[in-house]
Homo-oligomer: A and B are copies of this chain.
Amino acid sequence: VARVTITEVARRAGVSIASASRALNGQVASAETVERVRAAAEELGYVADATARSLKLGRTHQLGYAVADIGNPVYVEIMGALEAVVAAAGYRLTISTTGDAAATVDLVRSLGRGYVDGLVLSPLRVTDELVQAIRQAPVPVVVLGNLPDDAGIDTVRADSGRGMELVVAHLVDEGRRRLAFLNGPADTTPGRARRAGFQRAVDSRGVVSLEATARDFTIAEGYGAARTLLERALADGAASLPDAIVAANDLMGIGAIHAADDLGLRVPEDIAVTGVDDTELAQVSRPGLTSVDLGAAERGRVAADLLVARLAEPDRPAHSVTVAPTLQVRGSSRVAGPRALEDDKTWGAAG
């Protein structure tokens, strides 16, 4: 279990450590030297010490992903995509959780050359302090989220406004005219953006809109808020009932389906429900939950690409990429024709 250094390999091969290093790294060296060194390394089970190499080269071949909450399916999907790109580019991925906004700033400040060559950051909230810290960071940082365009920072965004537009357009196409927006806390970035998008879409079409706010983006809170909303409407008479609930994410959408169900409302016949994120939950739910895919995997890929590109070319101008959303229509919003359950089974891709 003793670790073997290049010195021993060199001795074994009967060459200097410099020659050993060159042979191992494909630098100029005679065929014979290469052969001898390779053999010696093989026999000894030599693996170069990554730390020493990093110190010398000034690069760690590690990239970081910092996120508030691993476990959130959206972040997991992003992480999976990151890992793939990063590994292909010859880097390792290290994960950190950032907790609150202050901790995020601390993390970025502590980035001093050493443990990663670059960072992908999914910040909970973007503060001026954070933007400052990122600009002063000694390694490149790519941000997933909404940053001022003039900040000069590589950014990749989801377009949740456009996503809400897609949902509303679809529902109106399906003949829905009274749409309720089921939002999470409005002081969060996604909460704000989705609300604004919904409002814009609804206003431009002149359909009726209601709104309910849940305390958190969870199934339980979504269920509670949706149930309250529906019970109030029912009390006012069936005419005041919305004919669609647009939830701000899939979890709340699932909660809304269950709330409708518990109140004896049929989905989608009496009321349509939609979500956002197109998670596996949306595919599995019955009826399948129509959902806007905000392109989490794609955003992860793009973020990793941006980071790798910047590492290769540190002075290039900052890029700001927006990934287009796509709508996955499922049974929760589609009543036309005989209810085509089979269509909901997009399971082939579920893994």
Q: At the interface, yes or no: A350 with Cβ under 8 Å from chain B?
A: yes
Q: At the interface, yes or no: A351 with Cβ under 8 Å from chain B?
A: yes
B-binding segment of A46-54, A160-168, A171-179: A46-54
The 9 closest A-B pairs by CB, nearest first: A47-B112, A50-B114, A220-B347, A94-B94, A50-B115, A51-B54, A71-B80, A3-B113, A49-B114
Q: At the interface, yes or no: A96 with Cβ under 8 Å from chain B?
A: yes
Q: At the interface, yes or no: A230 with Cβ under 8 Å from chain B?
A: no
Contacts of A154 in B (CB 8 A): none
Whether A109 touches B47, Cβ cut-off 8 Å, given contacts A94-B94, A281-B280, A350-B219, is yes
Q: At the interface, yes or no: A334 with Cβ under 8 Å from chain B?
A: no
Q: At the interface, yes or no: A348 with Cβ under 8 Å from chain B?
A: yes
A251 to B280, CA, bound (A): 10
**Cβ-defined partner of A138 (8 Å) among B3, B76, B83, B97:** B3
**Cβ-defined partner of A1 (8 Å) among B48, B83, B136:** B136
Q: At the interface, yes or no: A18 with Cβ under 8 Å from chain B?
A: no
A113 to B113, CA, bound (A): 20
Q: At the interface, yes or no: A326 with Cβ under 8 Å from chain B?
A: no
Count this chain's copies in the assembly.
2
A351 to B72, CA, bound (A): 9
Q: Which of A's residues lie within 8 Å of B, judged by CB? A: 1-3, 45-55, 60, 62, 70-71, 76-77, 79-80, 83-84, 87, 92-97, 109-115, 136-138, 218-220, 223, 251, 254-255, 258, 261-262, 280-281, 283-286, 341, 345, 347-348, 350-351
Q: Is the CB of A76 within 8 A of B70?
A: yes
A350 to B113, CA, bound (A): 38
CB distance from A349 to the nearest CB of B (A): 9
Find the B residue at minimum CB distance from A49: B114
